Amino acid sequence: MPRKTLMNSATINGPTKQNRILRKRILLVDDEGLVREAVGRLLAKDEHTVVESNNGFEALSLFTRGHFDLVMTDFRIPFMEGNELATRIKQLAPGQPILMITGYGKKPGPVNPVDAVLNRPFDLDQLRAVMATLLSEVAPLSSGDTLSLPTAAPPCPVAR
Protein backbone atom coordinates (compact mmCIF):
# COMPACT_ATOMS: atom_id res chain seq x y z
CA MET A 1 0.00 0.00 0.00
CA PRO A 2 1.52 3.37 -0.97
CA ARG A 3 2.54 5.63 1.89
CA LYS A 4 2.65 9.38 1.81
CA THR A 5 5.08 11.19 4.05
CA LEU A 6 4.50 14.81 4.89
CA MET A 7 7.11 17.14 6.28
CA ASN A 8 7.31 20.88 6.60
CA SER A 9 10.10 21.52 4.10
CA ALA A 10 9.56 22.81 0.57
CA THR A 11 7.96 21.91 -2.77
CA ILE A 12 4.20 22.19 -2.97
CA ASN A 13 2.95 25.58 -4.05
CA GLY A 14 -0.34 26.91 -2.70
CA PRO A 15 -3.48 25.40 -4.21
CA THR A 16 -5.04 26.76 -7.34
CA LYS A 17 -8.78 26.93 -7.94
CA GLN A 18 -8.47 23.63 -9.82
CA ASN A 19 -7.02 21.67 -6.93
CA ARG A 20 -8.93 23.15 -3.98
CA ILE A 21 -11.20 20.53 -2.52
CA LEU A 22 -14.66 21.76 -1.53
CA ARG A 23 -17.66 20.44 0.43
CA LYS A 24 -16.27 17.23 1.92
CA ARG A 25 -17.40 15.50 5.10
CA ILE A 26 -14.52 15.44 7.58
CA LEU A 27 -14.10 13.74 10.94
CA LEU A 28 -11.86 15.99 13.06
CA VAL A 29 -10.37 14.36 16.17
CA ASP A 30 -8.48 16.43 18.75
CA ASP A 31 -8.82 16.63 22.51
CA GLU A 32 -8.23 20.38 22.52
CA GLY A 33 -11.40 22.36 21.86
CA LEU A 34 -9.50 25.44 20.69
CA VAL A 35 -7.61 23.37 18.12
CA ARG A 36 -10.85 21.79 16.84
CA GLU A 37 -12.39 25.24 16.63
CA ALA A 38 -9.44 26.77 14.75
CA VAL A 39 -9.11 23.88 12.29
CA GLY A 40 -12.89 23.81 11.88
CA ARG A 41 -12.83 27.48 10.89
CA LEU A 42 -10.15 26.80 8.29
CA LEU A 43 -12.18 23.89 6.88
CA ALA A 44 -15.37 26.00 6.83
CA LYS A 45 -13.69 28.40 4.39
CA ASP A 46 -14.00 25.62 1.79
CA GLU A 47 -17.54 24.66 2.86
CA HIS A 48 -16.60 21.34 4.44
CA THR A 49 -18.94 19.63 6.89
CA VAL A 50 -16.94 18.95 10.03
CA VAL A 51 -17.92 16.36 12.63
CA GLU A 52 -15.84 16.80 15.78
CA SER A 53 -14.66 14.32 18.37
CA ASN A 54 -12.43 14.84 21.39
CA ASN A 55 -11.28 11.22 21.85
CA GLY A 56 -10.46 8.04 19.97
CA PHE A 57 -13.38 5.87 21.12
CA GLU A 58 -15.98 8.48 20.20
CA ALA A 59 -14.25 9.06 16.85
CA LEU A 60 -14.28 5.34 16.04
CA SER A 61 -17.97 5.17 16.94
CA LEU A 62 -18.75 8.18 14.73
CA PHE A 63 -16.73 6.66 11.89
CA THR A 64 -18.62 3.35 12.01
CA ARG A 65 -21.97 5.16 11.89
CA GLY A 66 -21.27 7.54 9.02
CA HIS A 67 -19.36 8.22 5.82
CA PHE A 68 -16.36 10.55 5.91
CA ASP A 69 -14.27 11.72 2.97
CA LEU A 70 -11.33 12.42 5.30
CA VAL A 71 -10.37 11.67 8.88
CA MET A 72 -8.08 14.22 10.55
CA THR A 73 -6.64 13.21 13.91
CA ASP A 74 -4.13 14.44 16.42
CA PHE A 75 -1.56 11.96 17.70
CA ARG A 76 -2.21 12.48 21.41
CA ILE A 77 -5.92 11.93 22.06
CA PRO A 78 -7.68 10.31 25.04
CA PHE A 79 -8.44 6.57 25.23
CA MET A 80 -6.35 5.62 22.17
CA GLU A 81 -3.60 7.47 20.34
CA GLY A 82 -4.12 8.74 16.81
CA ASN A 83 -2.05 5.95 15.26
CA GLU A 84 -4.21 3.33 16.99
CA LEU A 85 -7.36 5.10 15.76
CA ALA A 86 -5.87 5.10 12.24
CA THR A 87 -5.11 1.37 12.50
CA ARG A 88 -8.67 0.56 13.54
CA ILE A 89 -10.17 2.74 10.81
CA LYS A 90 -7.90 1.20 8.15
CA GLN A 91 -9.04 -2.28 9.31
CA LEU A 92 -12.64 -1.22 8.67
CA ALA A 93 -11.99 0.82 5.51
CA PRO A 94 -8.50 0.29 4.04
CA GLY A 95 -8.89 3.08 1.47
CA GLN A 96 -10.01 5.72 3.97
CA PRO A 97 -7.76 8.81 3.74
CA ILE A 98 -6.37 9.75 7.15
CA LEU A 99 -4.40 12.92 7.90
CA MET A 100 -2.57 13.32 11.19
CA ILE A 101 -2.21 16.91 12.37
CA THR A 102 0.22 17.01 15.25
CA GLY A 103 2.92 18.87 17.05
CA TYR A 104 4.82 15.65 17.80
CA GLY A 105 6.59 15.20 14.45
CA LYS A 106 5.21 11.71 13.84
CA LYS A 107 5.61 10.13 10.40
CA PRO A 108 3.53 7.56 8.53
CA GLY A 109 4.85 4.02 8.74
CA PRO A 110 4.07 0.53 10.02
CA VAL A 111 3.07 1.77 13.48
CA ASN A 112 1.37 4.92 12.16
CA PRO A 113 -0.79 3.95 9.17
CA VAL A 114 -1.96 7.46 8.32
CA ASP A 115 -1.67 8.68 4.73
CA ALA A 116 -0.03 11.99 5.60
CA VAL A 117 1.18 14.03 8.55
CA LEU A 118 0.82 17.79 8.77
CA ASN A 119 3.00 19.18 11.54
CA ARG A 120 1.76 22.14 13.55
CA PRO A 121 1.80 25.00 13.14
CA PHE A 122 0.37 25.11 9.61
CA ASP A 123 -1.63 27.54 7.52
CA LEU A 124 -4.69 27.25 5.29
CA ASP A 125 -2.68 26.86 2.08
CA GLN A 126 -0.69 23.97 3.56
CA LEU A 127 -3.88 22.28 4.76
CA ARG A 128 -5.50 22.74 1.35
CA ALA A 129 -2.45 21.32 -0.43
CA VAL A 130 -2.44 18.18 1.71
CA MET A 131 -6.18 17.72 1.33
CA ALA A 132 -5.94 18.18 -2.44
CA THR A 133 -3.30 15.46 -2.57
CA LEU A 134 -5.22 13.05 -0.35
CA LEU A 135 -8.66 13.62 -1.87
CA SER A 136 -7.91 14.21 -5.53
CA GLU A 137 -8.37 11.54 -8.14
CA VAL A 138 -4.77 11.99 -9.22
CA ALA A 139 -2.58 8.91 -8.97
CA PRO A 140 -1.32 8.40 -5.41
CA LEU A 141 2.31 8.87 -4.47
CA SER A 142 4.51 5.85 -4.92
CA SER A 143 5.95 4.11 -1.91
CA GLY A 144 8.91 6.06 -0.65
CA ASP A 145 7.86 9.34 -2.29
CA THR A 146 7.91 12.41 -0.08
CA LEU A 147 5.36 15.20 -0.06
CA SER A 148 6.84 18.42 1.28
CA LEU A 149 5.28 21.75 2.15
CA PRO A 150 6.59 25.31 2.37
CA THR A 151 7.43 26.62 5.81
CA ALA A 152 7.63 30.34 5.11
CA ALA A 153 3.92 31.10 5.64
CA PRO A 154 2.80 32.52 9.00
CA PRO A 155 1.47 29.81 11.29
CA CYS A 156 -2.17 29.14 12.03
CA PRO A 157 -3.08 29.44 15.73
CA VAL A 158 -3.24 25.66 16.16
CA ALA A 159 0.25 25.21 17.58
CA ARG A 160 0.74 23.02 20.63
Give residue 62's identity as a one-letter amino acid code: L
| CB-neighbour burial class of residue 32 (10 A; exposed 0-12, middle 13-18, buried 19+) | middle
- Of 93, 153, 124, 116, the residue nearest 21 (C-alpha): 124
pLDDT bucket at 112, cuts 50 / 70 / 90 = confident
118 three-state secondary structure? strand
Range of the domain at 42: 5-148
Position 158 in a domain: no
The percent of residues above 90 in pLDDT, for the chain, comes to 63
The answer to whether residues 71 and 96 touch, using CB atoms and an 8 Å cutoff, is: yes
Confidence of residue 50 (pLDDT cuts 50, 70, 90): very high
| In-domain check, residue 154 | no
Averaged pLDDT score across all residues of the chain: 79
SS3 25: strand
- Angle between the N-to-C axes of helices 124-135 and 33-44, in degrees from 0 to 180, rounded to the nearest 10: 70
What is the band of 139 on the pLDDT scale with cuts at 50, 70, 90?
A: very low
What is the average pLDDT across 95-122?
87
Averaged pLDDT for residues 128-138: 84
Answer whether residue 159 is part of any domain. no
Q: What is the pLDDT of residues 70-90, one digit of tens each?
A: 999 999 999 999 999 999 999
> Domain tally for the chain?
1
Cα–Cα separations (whole angstroms), residue 30 to 1, 4, 54: 26, 21, 5
Instruction: Give the domain CATH number at 102.
Output: 3.40.50.2300
Higher-confidence position of 97 and 142: 97
Residue 160 lies in a domain: no
